[in-house]
Amino acid sequence: MSRPLRTPQDLIEAGLAAPERRAELEAVAERYTLAIPPAMAELIDPDDPNDPIARQFVPSGAELETTLEERADPIGDLSHSPVEGIVHRYPDRVLLKAVHVCPVYCRFCFRREMIGPQGLGTLSPEALARALGYIAEHEEIWEVILTGGDPLVLSARRLAELIAPLGAIGHVQVVRIHSRVPVVEPERIDAELISALKASGRSTYVAVHANHPRELTAAARAACARLADSGIVLLGQSVLLKGVNDDPDTLAQLLRAMVETRIKPYYLHHPDLAPGTSHFRLSIEEGRKLVAGLRGRISGLCQPTYILDIPGGHGKASIGPSALVPRGDGCFTVTDFNGQEHVYPPAGTESA
């Protein structure tokens, strides 16, 4: 396989969908963009109807069912956008969304109404200049997060045009790039692209999106090694998805695979209320149970923060289970990794 699969016909010819599904696939592809690059298409087991890679990338008729609570802009980007391309939700950081295309289109994407060829497009040079002007004028902005879409679909030259000016803005100290590319198109991570990711004198972080341990192939691990060897810090972000990673073994393998690859697991997102994605959502109680189970099972290095983006643009909230519950008498009940409860501070502590 040498090119991305972009149409239902491509999927059928590649053996990743039965011909009887053509009408269903076409109806979905008309509404939401489809692309599966070779590295991901080759990972799919066509004989497994529940393949977790296929579930993430091959369209399903369930995407045409929008539930009452779902919304086109689930995390409220648009209501926090002071100029085109910027989302300014928290005081010390902004999102810079220069591009709205991706190398792969995740069927659960939280920005699915904004991305793809019919989406918000790529910032024009004038709009980019206005966005950089906004960052320069706001001295409270310490971190700029490049997202989209996937910024790493841009050429090294375009990325340099975007990132190098950030190095000239004194108050911007950190540049963070959110991307699927190291996993889904690892061959793109070459020396020229890596060099373009670094703003002079600034720290660069790349948040790598992966949801299943199989995504961290040898090629993906090698791409991440190239980034890490260059001094870029790697963070992991994953979405907790029904039928993909909602079991303790898969989650543990994913998080361990990240740490082995020098990716520090950062966020485990509860799925957002994007249209046509209810088949991916588990309940928060189910999510908390899974996350609680990770605590004693895998190293602290592997533990992500379980996060909910509050609908409406109110930011992220940590929703993981708490080990500490107030008892009402000034003490707490604290639960250890075996599920046993203890009182803190312990009664009757002897003084020396």
Residues that bind ligand SF4 (CB under 6 A): 102, 105-106, 109, 111, 115, 148-150, 180, 209
SS3 54: helix
State the first-to-last Cα distance of the chain, in angstroms, to the nearest integer: 71
Closest CA to 184 of 153, 147, 146, 157: 153
Task: Decide whether 62 or 323 has the Cβ nearer to ligand SF4.
Answer: 62
Smaller CB separation from ligand SF4, 35 or 169? 35
Q: Which residue, 116, 118, 114, is CA-closest to 85?
A: 114
CB-wise, 236 or 298, nearer to ligand SF4? 236
CB nearer ligand SF4, residue 109 or residue 302: 109
In the complex, least distance from residue 8 CB atom to ligand SF4, rounded to whole angstroms:
18
Tell me the catalytic residues: 89-90, 93, 102, 106, 109, 111, 272, 309, 316
In the complex, the smallest distance separating the C-beta of residue 258 from ligand SF4, rounded to whole angstroms, is: 17
- In DSSP notation, 142-211 reads -EEEEESS-GGGS-HHHHHHHHGGGGGSTT--EEEEEESHHHHSGGG--HHHHHHTPPTT-EEEEEEE--
Collapsing DSSP to helix, strand or coil, 343 comes out as strand
Q: Are 79 and 126 in contact (CB under 8 A)?
A: no
Residue 39: CB atoms within 10 A of its CB come to 21
State the minimum distance, in angstroms, from the CB of residue 105 to ligand SF4. 5
* Minimum gap (Å) between residue 114 Cβ and ligand SF4: 9
CB-CB contact of 98 with 128 (8 Å) = yes
